[in-house]
Amino acid sequence: MALVDVSRIPKHVAIIMDGNGRWAQARSKPRTAGHERGADAVRATMRAARRLGIPALTLYAFSEQNWDRPEAEINALVDLLCECLVTERNELLDNEIRLSAIGRLHKLPKHAQSRLRALSAETEACEGMTLTLALSYGGREELIDAARALASAARDGEIEPDEIDEAAIDRFLPSMDLGPVDLLIRTGGEQRISNFLLWGSAYAELYFTDELWPDFDAISLYSAVRDYQGRERRFGLVPGVDEDATVRKGPHKLERAI
Protein backbone atom coordinates (compact mmCIF):
# COMPACT_ATOMS: atom_id res chain seq x y z
CA MET A 1 0.00 0.00 0.00
CA ALA A 2 2.93 2.31 0.72
CA LEU A 3 3.73 2.54 -2.97
CA VAL A 4 0.23 3.46 -4.06
CA ASP A 5 -0.06 7.16 -4.91
CA VAL A 6 -3.13 8.20 -2.94
CA SER A 7 -3.55 11.32 -5.05
CA ARG A 8 -4.09 9.25 -8.22
CA ILE A 9 -6.59 6.63 -7.20
CA PRO A 10 -8.87 5.36 -10.02
CA LYS A 11 -12.41 6.59 -9.49
CA HIS A 12 -14.06 3.51 -10.94
CA VAL A 13 -12.52 0.04 -10.75
CA ALA A 14 -14.33 -2.88 -12.38
CA ILE A 15 -13.34 -6.52 -11.94
CA ILE A 16 -14.08 -9.64 -13.98
CA MET A 17 -13.78 -12.17 -11.18
CA ASP A 18 -12.72 -15.26 -13.09
CA GLY A 19 -11.10 -18.55 -12.19
CA ASN A 20 -13.25 -19.95 -9.38
CA GLY A 21 -13.84 -23.24 -11.21
CA ARG A 22 -10.17 -23.76 -11.98
CA TRP A 23 -9.22 -22.91 -8.40
CA ALA A 24 -11.54 -25.69 -7.20
CA GLN A 25 -10.50 -28.14 -9.91
CA ALA A 26 -6.85 -27.75 -8.92
CA ARG A 27 -7.84 -28.90 -5.43
CA SER A 28 -10.11 -31.73 -6.63
CA LYS A 29 -13.09 -29.88 -5.19
CA PRO A 30 -16.47 -29.11 -6.76
CA ARG A 31 -16.68 -25.82 -8.66
CA THR A 32 -19.00 -24.47 -5.98
CA ALA A 33 -16.12 -24.62 -3.48
CA GLY A 34 -14.32 -22.17 -5.75
CA HIS A 35 -17.31 -19.84 -5.75
CA GLU A 36 -17.43 -20.00 -1.94
CA ARG A 37 -13.79 -19.00 -1.66
CA GLY A 38 -14.49 -16.38 -4.29
CA ALA A 39 -16.90 -14.74 -1.86
CA ASP A 40 -14.02 -14.36 0.65
CA ALA A 41 -11.99 -12.66 -2.08
CA VAL A 42 -14.89 -10.28 -2.70
CA ARG A 43 -14.86 -9.26 0.97
CA ALA A 44 -11.08 -8.75 1.00
CA THR A 45 -11.17 -6.73 -2.23
CA MET A 46 -14.08 -4.61 -1.08
CA ARG A 47 -12.29 -3.73 2.16
CA ALA A 48 -9.05 -2.94 0.35
CA ALA A 49 -10.83 -0.77 -2.23
CA ARG A 50 -12.55 1.15 0.53
CA ARG A 51 -9.24 1.64 2.36
CA LEU A 52 -7.63 2.97 -0.81
CA GLY A 53 -10.46 5.47 -1.23
CA ILE A 54 -11.76 4.05 -4.52
CA PRO A 55 -15.22 5.63 -4.88
CA ALA A 56 -16.76 2.99 -7.18
CA LEU A 57 -16.12 -0.74 -7.42
CA THR A 58 -18.11 -2.81 -9.91
CA LEU A 59 -17.86 -6.60 -9.73
CA TYR A 60 -18.92 -9.00 -12.48
CA ALA A 61 -20.59 -11.69 -10.41
CA PHE A 62 -22.87 -13.42 -12.93
CA SER A 63 -23.17 -12.86 -16.65
CA GLU A 64 -26.24 -13.14 -18.81
CA GLN A 65 -24.44 -16.02 -20.57
CA ASN A 66 -23.79 -17.79 -17.23
CA TRP A 67 -27.50 -18.77 -17.18
CA ASP A 68 -26.52 -21.53 -19.60
CA ARG A 69 -24.32 -23.24 -17.01
CA PRO A 70 -25.57 -26.41 -15.28
CA GLU A 71 -28.59 -25.75 -13.10
CA ALA A 72 -26.88 -26.99 -9.93
CA GLU A 73 -24.08 -24.46 -10.34
CA ILE A 74 -26.54 -21.63 -11.01
CA ASN A 75 -28.54 -22.56 -7.92
CA ALA A 76 -25.39 -22.68 -5.81
CA LEU A 77 -24.39 -19.22 -7.07
CA VAL A 78 -27.81 -17.75 -6.32
CA ASP A 79 -27.78 -19.34 -2.83
CA LEU A 80 -24.32 -17.93 -2.20
CA LEU A 81 -25.47 -14.47 -3.30
CA CYS A 82 -28.46 -14.64 -0.95
CA GLU A 83 -26.26 -15.80 1.92
CA CYS A 84 -23.75 -12.99 1.32
CA LEU A 85 -26.52 -10.41 1.25
CA VAL A 86 -27.19 -11.43 4.85
CA THR A 87 -23.67 -12.08 6.17
CA GLU A 88 -22.11 -8.95 4.64
CA ARG A 89 -24.75 -6.53 5.88
CA ASN A 90 -22.68 -5.24 8.79
CA GLU A 91 -19.52 -5.20 6.71
CA LEU A 92 -21.21 -2.80 4.29
CA LEU A 93 -22.77 -0.62 6.96
CA ASP A 94 -19.63 -0.46 9.13
CA ASN A 95 -17.52 0.54 6.15
CA GLU A 96 -20.01 3.04 4.73
CA ILE A 97 -20.43 1.01 1.53
CA ARG A 98 -23.51 1.55 -0.59
CA LEU A 99 -24.75 -1.52 -2.45
CA SER A 100 -26.06 -1.29 -5.97
CA ALA A 101 -26.75 -3.79 -8.76
CA ILE A 102 -26.91 -3.72 -12.55
CA GLY A 103 -28.11 -6.31 -15.04
CA ARG A 104 -31.38 -7.97 -15.94
CA LEU A 105 -32.17 -8.36 -12.25
CA HIS A 106 -35.76 -9.43 -12.97
CA LYS A 107 -34.33 -12.78 -14.11
CA LEU A 108 -33.05 -13.55 -10.61
CA PRO A 109 -35.32 -15.54 -8.29
CA LYS A 110 -37.76 -13.30 -6.40
CA HIS A 111 -36.16 -13.92 -2.99
CA ALA A 112 -32.75 -12.85 -4.33
CA GLN A 113 -34.28 -9.72 -5.84
CA SER A 114 -35.94 -8.75 -2.60
CA ARG A 115 -32.76 -9.27 -0.54
CA LEU A 116 -30.83 -7.16 -3.02
CA ARG A 117 -33.42 -4.42 -2.86
CA ALA A 118 -33.52 -4.51 0.94
CA LEU A 119 -29.77 -4.22 1.43
CA SER A 120 -29.48 -1.57 -1.29
CA ALA A 121 -32.13 0.47 0.53
CA GLU A 122 -30.45 -0.05 3.90
CA THR A 123 -27.08 1.13 2.61
CA GLU A 124 -28.42 3.93 0.42
CA ALA A 125 -27.04 6.71 2.62
CA CYS A 126 -23.53 5.21 2.80
CA GLU A 127 -21.08 7.50 1.08
CA GLY A 128 -17.71 5.80 1.49
CA MET A 129 -17.85 3.73 -1.68
CA THR A 130 -20.44 2.29 -4.05
CA LEU A 131 -20.19 -1.44 -4.62
CA THR A 132 -22.09 -2.46 -7.74
CA LEU A 133 -22.78 -6.12 -8.40
CA ALA A 134 -23.26 -6.99 -12.07
CA LEU A 135 -25.79 -9.82 -11.96
CA SER A 136 -27.43 -11.41 -14.96
CA TYR A 137 -25.41 -8.72 -16.70
CA GLY A 138 -24.22 -8.45 -20.27
CA GLY A 139 -22.78 -5.38 -21.94
CA ARG A 140 -24.59 -6.11 -25.20
CA GLU A 141 -27.85 -6.75 -23.36
CA GLU A 142 -27.48 -3.43 -21.54
CA LEU A 143 -26.97 -1.67 -24.88
CA ILE A 144 -30.00 -3.45 -26.35
CA ASP A 145 -32.14 -2.33 -23.40
CA ALA A 146 -30.86 1.25 -23.78
CA ALA A 147 -31.56 1.21 -27.54
CA ARG A 148 -35.11 0.04 -26.88
CA ALA A 149 -35.67 2.72 -24.24
CA LEU A 150 -34.24 5.43 -26.51
CA ALA A 151 -36.40 4.28 -29.41
CA SER A 152 -39.49 4.45 -27.19
CA ALA A 153 -38.50 7.91 -25.94
CA ALA A 154 -38.07 9.08 -29.56
CA ARG A 155 -41.41 7.57 -30.57
CA ASP A 156 -43.11 9.37 -27.67
CA GLY A 157 -41.52 12.67 -28.66
CA GLU A 158 -39.35 12.87 -25.52
CA ILE A 159 -36.11 13.03 -27.47
CA GLU A 160 -35.25 13.94 -31.05
CA PRO A 161 -33.12 11.33 -32.88
CA ASP A 162 -30.38 13.90 -33.49
CA GLU A 163 -30.29 14.70 -29.78
CA ILE A 164 -28.99 11.18 -29.17
CA ASP A 165 -25.38 11.80 -28.31
CA GLU A 166 -22.84 10.29 -25.91
CA ALA A 167 -24.42 11.95 -22.89
CA ALA A 168 -27.91 10.72 -23.85
CA ILE A 169 -26.68 7.14 -24.14
CA ASP A 170 -24.88 7.48 -20.79
CA ARG A 171 -28.21 8.42 -19.21
CA PHE A 172 -29.84 5.25 -20.51
CA LEU A 173 -27.10 2.93 -19.25
CA PRO A 174 -27.34 2.04 -15.54
CA SER A 175 -23.67 1.05 -15.59
CA MET A 176 -22.78 4.68 -16.36
CA ASP A 177 -24.35 6.03 -13.17
CA LEU A 178 -20.90 5.96 -11.60
CA GLY A 179 -19.02 7.18 -14.65
CA PRO A 180 -16.74 5.35 -17.06
CA VAL A 181 -14.37 2.64 -15.89
CA ASP A 182 -10.82 3.78 -15.18
CA LEU A 183 -9.28 0.41 -14.36
CA LEU A 184 -10.64 -2.93 -15.57
CA ILE A 185 -9.10 -5.96 -13.89
CA ARG A 186 -9.57 -9.57 -15.01
CA THR A 187 -8.27 -12.46 -12.97
CA GLY A 188 -7.87 -16.06 -14.14
CA GLY A 189 -5.45 -15.53 -17.02
CA GLU A 190 -7.90 -14.95 -19.88
CA GLN A 191 -7.42 -11.74 -21.81
CA ARG A 192 -10.93 -10.89 -22.89
CA ILE A 193 -13.84 -8.67 -21.87
CA SER A 194 -16.53 -11.40 -21.94
CA ASN A 195 -19.39 -8.95 -22.48
CA PHE A 196 -18.67 -6.84 -19.41
CA LEU A 197 -18.97 -3.03 -19.38
CA LEU A 198 -18.63 -2.49 -23.13
CA TRP A 199 -19.55 1.18 -23.31
CA GLY A 200 -18.06 2.34 -20.02
CA SER A 201 -14.74 0.57 -20.62
CA ALA A 202 -14.03 2.44 -23.86
CA TYR A 203 -10.97 4.14 -22.34
CA ALA A 204 -10.39 1.88 -19.35
CA GLU A 205 -6.88 0.73 -18.56
CA LEU A 206 -6.89 -3.06 -18.80
CA TYR A 207 -5.08 -5.21 -16.25
CA PHE A 208 -4.93 -8.97 -16.67
CA THR A 209 -3.53 -11.28 -14.02
CA ASP A 210 -3.08 -15.05 -13.96
CA GLU A 211 -4.12 -15.13 -10.32
CA LEU A 212 -7.37 -17.05 -9.89
CA TRP A 213 -10.16 -15.04 -8.29
CA PRO A 214 -10.25 -16.96 -4.94
CA ASP A 215 -6.56 -16.04 -4.48
CA PHE A 216 -7.10 -12.33 -5.17
CA ASP A 217 -6.62 -10.13 -2.10
CA ALA A 218 -5.69 -6.63 -0.92
CA ILE A 219 -2.10 -6.97 -2.15
CA SER A 220 -3.38 -8.04 -5.59
CA LEU A 221 -5.57 -4.95 -5.76
CA TYR A 222 -2.71 -2.66 -4.70
CA SER A 223 -0.54 -4.19 -7.45
CA ALA A 224 -3.22 -3.50 -10.05
CA VAL A 225 -3.67 0.09 -8.87
CA ARG A 226 0.09 0.66 -8.88
CA ASP A 227 0.28 -0.66 -12.43
CA TYR A 228 -2.57 1.68 -13.42
CA GLN A 229 -0.72 4.61 -11.90
CA GLY A 230 2.23 3.92 -14.18
CA ARG A 231 0.10 4.27 -17.32
CA GLU A 232 -0.32 7.42 -19.39
CA ARG A 233 -3.95 7.97 -20.26
CA ARG A 234 -4.23 9.91 -23.48
CA PHE A 235 -7.87 9.63 -24.58
CA GLY A 236 -6.82 9.91 -28.20
CA LEU A 237 -4.71 13.01 -27.64
CA VAL A 238 -0.96 13.37 -27.98
CA PRO A 239 1.55 12.58 -25.23
CA GLY A 240 2.93 15.40 -23.17
CA VAL A 241 -0.32 17.38 -22.97
CA ASP A 242 -0.75 18.57 -19.42
CA GLU A 243 -2.91 16.22 -17.45
CA ASP A 244 -5.60 18.82 -16.74
CA ALA A 245 -6.09 19.39 -20.46
CA THR A 246 -6.35 15.64 -21.03
CA VAL A 247 -8.93 15.50 -18.29
CA ARG A 248 -10.94 18.37 -19.80
CA LYS A 249 -10.88 16.90 -23.28
CA GLY A 250 -11.48 13.35 -22.12
CA PRO A 251 -14.28 11.44 -23.77
CA HIS A 252 -16.76 12.28 -21.07
CA LYS A 253 -15.67 15.86 -20.38
CA LEU A 254 -15.96 15.15 -16.68
CA GLU A 255 -13.87 16.80 -14.04
CA ARG A 256 -11.78 13.76 -13.35
CA ALA A 257 -8.64 13.66 -11.23
CA ILE A 258 -6.80 10.76 -12.82
Q: What is the C-alpha to C-alpha distance for residues 43 and 84, in angstroms, rounded to an integer?
A: 10
Smallest Cα–Cα separation from 215: which of 37, 8, 28, 26?
37
Q: Is 66 a catalytic residue?
A: yes
Told to check if 223 binds ligand IPE by CB under 6 A, we report: no
Of the candidates 194, 215, 217, 252, which one interacts with ligand IPE according to CB under 6 A? 194
How near is the Cβ of 18 to Mg ion at its closest, in Å?
Answer: 4
Smallest Cα–Cα separation from 56: which of 167, 171, 177?
177
Angle formed at CA 123 by CA 119 and CA 126, multiple of 5 degrees: 165
Q: Is 162 a catalytic residue?
A: no
| Spatial strand order in the sheet of 205-208 | 97-102, 129-137, 56-63, 12-16, 183-186, 205-208
Residue 16, binding choice from ligand IPE, Mg ion, none, Cβ under 5 to 8 Å by partner class: ligand IPE
Smallest Cα–Cα separation from 205: which of 223, 187, 230?
230
Residue 138, binding choice from ligand IPE, Mg ion, none, Cβ under 5 to 8 Å by partner class: none
- Span of 62-70, 86-94, 117-125, 150-158 interacting with ligand IPE by CB under 6 A: 62-70
Backbone phi and psi for residue 157, each to the nearest 5 degrees, phi listed first: 75, 15
Q: Which of residues 2-31 bind Mg ion (CB under 5 A)?
A: 18
Residue 139, binding choice from ligand IPE, Mg ion, none, Cβ under 5 to 8 Å by partner class: none
Helices then strands, counting H and E runs in the chain, come out as 9, 6
Which CB, 18 or 205, lies closer to Mg ion? 18
Q: Which of residues 5-24 bind ligand IPE (CB under 6 A)?
A: 16-22
SS3 97: strand
Q: Which of residues 72-131 bind ligand IPE (CB under 6 A)?
A: 77
How near is the Cβ of 188 to Mg ion at its closest, in Å?
Answer: 6
Which CB, 34 or 128, lies closer to Mg ion? 34
Active site residues: 18, 66
